[in-house]
Copies of this chain bind each other. A is one copy, B any other.
Amino acid sequence: MTAELDPVIHPASRLRIMTTLVAAGEGKAMPFALLAERLDMTPGNLSVHLTKLETAGYVRIDKTFRGRKPATYAVLTHAGGLAFARYLTALKTLLDPVREGVGDNDATN
């Protein structure tokens, strides 16, 4: 049986959050508002998913002030980067048997 797909990362919303943070880079502070806008997620929905990622230690939430305005940032942790790499490897292993046959060749039209 193939390695399990990390249930913290796999759900679509959290996968999209992690992909955005991994693309930004480990330790990079991503403004909450920018993340919500880019992922077209409501602040409430984004907050729920970020909390699950934070609980797992994959993301750190930094709350600070810019001038007098509160500002929240999401930061990919080293553990988060490693967990995402394991997730990608497990996903690739799962999809290997079908990736050639399906995807971007004519069979899909």
Contact = CB atoms under 8 A, between A and B. Distances in A.
A67 interface: no
Q: How many monomers of this protein are in the complex?
A: 2
Given A23-B97, A94-B16, A94-B19, A1 B102 contact: no
Contact of A22 (B16, B40, B81, B101): B101
Interface in A35-50: 38-40
A101 to B, nearest CB: 7
Interface residues of A, number: 35
A82 B108 contact: yes
B12 A12 contact: no
Interface of A: 1-2, 4-5, 7, 10-12, 15-16, 19, 22-23, 38-40, 81-82, 84-86, 88-89, 92, 94-95, 97-99, 101-104, 107-108
